[in-house]
């Protein structure tokens, strides 16, 4: 699944969509990284020689101190600044405890879909990702689109 685009790709990144009890594991970016203070999912740039799944697991470990298992590749977008972003479902242990890396992450929290959509600090690409999910462009394992989604996202 992908969005149509004609922006030259300068970098590739991967993002982890992790759920617990209908809530997304979400981070607020630290003030020293790109898009400071913005809310998004864990993830980051893919290094040379890494697969997307390897980069996903490494970034989640680096940012949140937790082991994860890469699941299904859900979606792909391109940021206006030319980063191709692959959106992956990932799972973590039920009792995994998040320990944030303060160099990259200001805080982490679990958010219901409508709470995320209403957060003014949510990265635009994440809003687009959630909208595409709400329109059934792809499914996310373990969560269904709320029946009142059109009211939430409209």
Ligand X SMILES: Nc1nc2c([nH]c(=O)n2[C@H]2C[C@H](O)[C@@H](COP(=O)(O)OP(=O)(O)OP(=O)(O)O)O2)c(=O)[nH]1
Residue 43 or 113: which CB sits closer to ligand X? 43
Q: Is 13 in the site for ligand X (CB under 6 A)?
A: yes
Residue 33 or 152: which CB sits closer to ligand X? 33
Residue 50 or 142: which CB sits closer to ligand X? 50
- Compute the least distance from the CB of residue 137 to ligand X, in Å: 16
The residues in 76-115 that bind ligand X, with binding defined as CB under 6 A, are: 79, 83, 85
The residues in 24-43 that bind ligand X, with binding defined as CB under 6 A, are: 33-34, 40-41, 43
Which of 93, 105, 94 lies closest to 27 in space, CA to CA? 105
Residue 26 · residue 18 · CB < 8 Å: no
Residue 16 · residue 59 · CB < 8 Å: yes
Q: How many helices (H) and strands (E) does the chain have?
A: 4, 8
For β-strands 11-17 and 83-91, DSSP reports them as parallel
Angle at 81 between CA 125 and CA 68, to 5 degrees: 50
Q: Is 75 in the site for ligand X (CB under 6 A)?
A: no
- Compute the least distance from the CB of residue 54 to ligand X, in Å: 13
Among 64, 66, 71, 125, binds ligand X (CB under 6 A): 125
Judge residue 150's burial from the number of C-beta atoms within 10 Å of its C-beta, 0-12 exposed, 13-18 middle, 19 or more buried.
exposed
Residue 40 or 57: which CB sits closer to ligand X? 40
Residues forming contacts to ligand X in the complex (CB under 6 A) are 13, 15, 33-34, 40-41, 43-45, 79, 83, 85, 123, 125-126
């Amino acid at each position: 699944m992908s969005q149509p685009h004609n922006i030259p790709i300068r970098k590739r990144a991967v993002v982890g969509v992790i759920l617990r009890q209908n809530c997304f594991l979400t981070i607020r970016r630290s003030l020293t990284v790109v898009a400071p203070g913005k809310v998004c999912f864990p993830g980051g740039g893919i290094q040379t020689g890494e697969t997307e799944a390897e980069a996903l697991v490494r970034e989640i470990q680096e940012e949140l101190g937790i082991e994860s298992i890469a699941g299904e590749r859900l979606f792909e977008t391109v940021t206006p600044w030319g980063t191709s972003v692959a959106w992956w479902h990932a799972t973590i242990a039920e009792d995994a405890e998040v320990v944030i890396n303060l160099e990259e992450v200001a805080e982490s929290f679990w958010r219901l879909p409508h709470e995320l959509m209403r957060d003014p600090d949510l990265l635009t690409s994440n809003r687009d990702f959630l909208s595409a999910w709400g329109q059934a462009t792809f499914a996310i394992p373990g969560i269904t689109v709320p029946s009142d989604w059109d009211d939430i996202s409209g």
